[in-house]
Amino acid sequence: MTIEHFPDTAALPLGQAHPVAVPLGEPVAHVSSNAVERTDGVEAGVWECTPGRWQRQIVQQEFCHFIQGRCTFTPDEGTPIDIQAGDALMFPANTTGIWDVQETVRKSYVLIF
Rounded to an integer, what distance in angstroms lies between the CA atom of residue 74 and that of residue 39?
32
Angle at 10 between CA 107 and CA 50, to 5 degrees: 55
Beta carbons within 10 angstroms of residue 59's beta carbon: 12
Query: Residue 1: what pLDDT?
Result: 73
Better-scored residue on pLDDT, 113 or 43: 43
Give the pLDDT confidence score for residue 2 in this predicted structure: 87
Query: What separation in angstroms does the CA of 29 have from each of 17, 77, 92, 103?
Result: 10, 23, 23, 11
Query: CATH classification of 42-102+109-113 is 2.60.120.10, yes or no?
Result: yes
Q: What is the pLDDT of residues 70-102, one digit of tens each?
A: 999 999 989 999 999 999 999 999 999 999 999
Considering the entire predicted model, what is its pTM? 0.94
Give the model's pLDDT for residue 57. 87
Q: Which of 70, 55, 63 is nearest to 108 (CA)?
A: 63
d(CA 59, CA 6): 24
**What residues does each domain of the chain span?**
42-102+109-113
Alpha carbons 43 and 71: distance in angstroms, whole number:
23
pLDDT digits (tens, 9 = 90+) for 17-70: 999 999 999 999 999 999 999 999 999 999 999 999 999 989 999 999 999 999
Tally Cβ neighbours within 10 Å of residue 79: 6
